[in-house]
Amino acid sequence: MTRSELINQIKQKKSFLCVGLDTDINKIPRFLLDYEDPIFEFNKRIIEATQDLCVAYKPNIAFYESRGIKGWESLRKTWEILPKECLSIADAKRGDIGNTANMYAQAFFDPKLSGLGFDSITVAPYMGEDSVSPFLEFKGKWAIVLALTSNPGGLDFQTIKDKDGLMLFEQVIKKVNTWGNPENLMYVVGATRGEAFSVIRKHAPDHFLLVPGVGAQGGDLAEVCRYGMNTDCGLLVNATRSIIYASDGKDFADAARREAIKLQKEMKEELEKGHVI
C-alpha cells in the first residue's frame, strides 16, 4: 500500500483506526473453542465486523508465535482475509542486523517464501541502520520504527538527553529519517505521551505515526490529534482490547463493531477539525 492509497482510505472511510488483532485464546469467547481454528474464527468475525470502519489491521505476532505451528497457520489464514484496501501491519518488533534482518523481512513480506505478505512491520532500531534498511529494500513495504513507546519502561532510555538537550527518541527519528522517507517509514508513538507529539512533529512533520494506547490503555484521542495530526492526517491510531474484547459472549463481533463505530465517529470529527476531510 502506498502513502497516497492510505490517505485516500482515511478520507473515504473518515477514519484512521487500526484494529489490533492480539488474539489470546484464553480471552476469546468459549464457544469458539469448538471450531477447528478458534483464533482464526475469532479474527475472521472481528474483521468482517470492522473492515468498513478501519484503515489498518495489526496482528501482534507474539500471540501467534506462542502457539507454534498452529499459531503460524492461524496468522497465515488471517493475513489472507485481511481486506486489501487496509494496511496490514505485522507487529513483530524485529531488531537484528544484516542477513538476519533480511530473513525477517522475507518472512513477513514475501508470500512465495513464507505464505505471508504484510504491507509493513514494526522494527526496533537499537542496532542502527543495519537493523532497519533491509526492510526498506522491499518495494511497496513499510518499516514502522519504534520511537517513543507508551510502556512505563520506555522512559528508562527513550528520554535520556544528549549534550545538546535532544532526547534519545528525537535522535532516533532524526537518524532514521536519513535511511528512508515518508513513503516507506512510519514511527511508533504511544498515545499516553500527549504533548510529546508536538516534539516528534518537529523532526517528522510528514511521516505517519502508528499510535497504540487509545482505549483500554487510557490514551486521549483528542490530545493525540491536537499535537500529532498533520494535513494528511498522518496518524494510525490503534485500539485492541477495547474493540476485540468488548464482549466475551456470542455477540462479541457486534460489540466490537459498536466500539469501532464510536471511535470512527470521534475520528471523523477530528479529521473535520483538522481540515483533512
User: What is the DSSP pairing of strand 208-211 with strand 235-239?
Assistant: parallel
C-alpha cell at 96: 537484528
Check residue 255 and give its pLDDT: 98
**Res 217 pLDDT > 80:** no
Which of 119, 21, 13, 6 lies closest to 62, judged by CA?
21
Check residue 216 and give its pLDDT: 55
Contacts of residue 34, Cβ cutoff 8 Å, sequence gap at least 6: none
C-alpha cell at 79: 493475513
Residues with catalytic annotation?
Answer: 93
Check residue 214 and give its pLDDT: 75
Check residue 150 and give its pLDDT: 84
Render pLDDT for 69-115 as a digit per residue (tens, 0 to 9).
999 999 999 999 999 999 999 999 999 998 999 999 999 999 999 99
List residues bridging with 230 in a β-sheet. 233
Check residue 218 and give its pLDDT: 59
- Interatomic CA distance for residues 260 and 33, integer angstroms: 25
- Interatomic CA distance for residues 165 and 167, integer angstroms: 6
- Whether the CB-CB separation of 141 and 184 falls below 8 Å is answered with yes
- The single-letter DSSP state of residue 52 is T
- Interatomic CA distance for residues 95 and 206, integer angstroms: 24
Residue 125's pLDDT band, with cuts at 50, 70 and 90, is very high
Check residue 17 and give its pLDDT: 98
* Widest CA span in the chain: 59
- Interatomic CA distance for residues 221 and 192, integer angstroms: 10
- Interatomic CA distance for residues 60 and 39, integer angstroms: 13
pTM of the model: 0.96
- Interatomic CA distance for residues 31 and 212, integer angstroms: 29
- For position 139, which CATH number holds? 3.20.20.70
**Res 32 pLDDT > 60:** yes
**Res 200 pLDDT > 80:** yes
- Interatomic CA distance for residues 76 and 113, integer angstroms: 12
Check residue 188 and give its pLDDT: 97
Number of domains the chain contains = 1
Check residue 82 and give its pLDDT: 98
List residues bridging with 31 in a β-sheet. none
**Res 219 pLDDT > 90:** no
**Res 49 pLDDT > 70:** yes
Cβ neighbours, 10 Å, residue 223 = 16
- The single-letter DSSP state of residue 72 is H
Check residue 75 and give its pLDDT: 98
Average pLDDT over residues 212-236: 86
**Res 237 pLDDT > 90:** yes
Check residue 191 and give its pLDDT: 79
Its domain, for residue 140, covers 3-273
Render pLDDT for 132-190 as a digit per residue (tens, 0 to 9).
999 999 999 999 999 999 888 988 999 999 999 999 999 999 999 999 999 999 999 99
C-alpha cell at 72: 503460524
